[in-house]
Amino acid sequence: MRHLLLPILAAGLWLAPSCGKAEDAGAKVQGGAIAVIDFDYLDTSGEVRDQRKEHEARLTAFAGALRSDLAKGSQFQVVTPVCSPEPCSLTGTTVPNLLAAAREAGADVVIIGGIHKMSTLVQWAKIEAIDAKTGRVLFDKLFTFRGDTDDAWRRAEAFIFDEVTALPPS
């Protein structure tokens, strides 16, 4: 089952742009309501020790910190979509269903993504910001970060938060 996660995540992120074309670097995202969909995680590092519990805890903390940081400022109101069936993630449903759930929750922008641990020290975070009403991809980025510690994950979240909030206001 774990070997199916990467193709599912890749397909979900690959199909998301079919909802609309990616905008240029000046895409307008700031302001309004934002939904951060639960991220998926894949570990293909081949490490002997089972780290699923640590990764689940870090992924939960990562998503919680991203939502919290986005809610702290006056730029966004963070809303929580309800998906049926759960989970509200790329592996739980389709991008159009996620967008519909986010719209129902009042979101203007939806953040979707996943994290892939490809080796002992390197992880990728694939993130897309999508206009919930039009399906237009506002940005589509692949970030890399080093380390698999709480601190490395916190730094990755802070960097991704900065990227989301650096887009010009609408």
Q: Are 32 and 78 in contact (CB under 8 A)?
A: no
Per the structure, how many domains does the chain have? 1
Q: Does residue 57 belong to any structural domain of this protein?
A: yes
Main-chain dihedrals φ then ψ at residue 5, nearest 5 degrees: -65, -45
Q: Does residue 170 belong to any structural domain of this protein?
A: no
Across the chain, the runs of DSSP E, i.e. the strands, are 33-36, 40-43, 77-79, 109-117, 122-131, 137-146
The strand pair at 137-146 and 77-79 is best described as unpaired
Q: Which domain holds residue 108?
A: 2-165
The strand pair at 109-117 and 33-36 is best described as parallel
Tell me how far the alpha carbon of residue 158 is from its chain's centroid.
13
Q: Give the residue among 21, 33, 18, 48 at the shortest CA–CA distance from 101.
A: 33
| CATH code (residue 155) | 3.40.50.10610
The whole-model pTM stands at 0.79
Of 67 and 31, the structure prediction assigns the larger pLDDT to: 67
Residue 14: pLDDT over 80? no
pLDDT tens column, 66-117 = 999 999 976 889 999 998 878 889 888 899 999 999 999 999 999 999 999 9
